[in-house]
A = this chain, B = another copy of it.
Amino acid sequence: MVAFHDPSDENALTKRFRDAGIQVTPQRLTIADTLFQCEKHISAEELYLQVREKNPRIGLATIYRTLHILKEKGLVEEHRFNDEFSRYEVKDSTHHDHLICIECGKVVEFGQPVIEHLQDLAAEEKDFTIVSHKLEIYGICKDCRDRKAMKKR
């Protein structure tokens, strides 16, 4: 979880930024570095707090502005599970969907290539050109199920 700050990462990041046509600044590097190293699905506020530890002079507005850019350039994805605020995750090449526990909020990822085909059918019927999809399955995870069973005596 606590990763050492490896300068090589930063070089790799710099390259990614340039490739994506994103101007490189120390703030953006810090933000992206934190985001890329963090566990999945972080909120802007959480990211802000973590970034703050590395550089307290970075403001929340910069977090948001950077997230917008990263999203626009396709490096991160924005999610809104349930009724909450936005959460962000690094976009990797393999698309996946999410299982969300309605009790504890835990988010588990799963791959589901079959859906790709399914959505094509649906979209074709309605004459849509598909760009992306989001499948969120809401349920109760094992831990919460067990806890509930326990409570009932």
Contacts and interface: CB of A to CB of B under 8 A. Distances in A.
A22 interface: no
A20 interface: no
A127 B112 contact: no
Copies in the complex: 2
A96 to B, nearest CB: 10
Given A122-B99, A122-B112, A131 B127 contact: no
A65 interface: no
A139 B129 contact: yes
Contacts of A83: 78, 80, 86
A124 B23 CA distance: 44
Given A83-B86, A133-B138, A137-B133, A128 B114 contact: no
Interface of A: 78, 80, 83, 86, 97, 99, 101-102, 108, 110, 112, 114-115, 118-119, 122-123, 125-142, 145
Nearest to A140: B129
Contacts of A119: 135, 137
Contacts of A128: 99, 101, 108, 137, 139-142
A105 B18 CA distance: 32
Contacts of A140: 128-129, 131
A123 B139 contact: yes
Given A118-B115, A122-B99, A138 B130 contact: yes
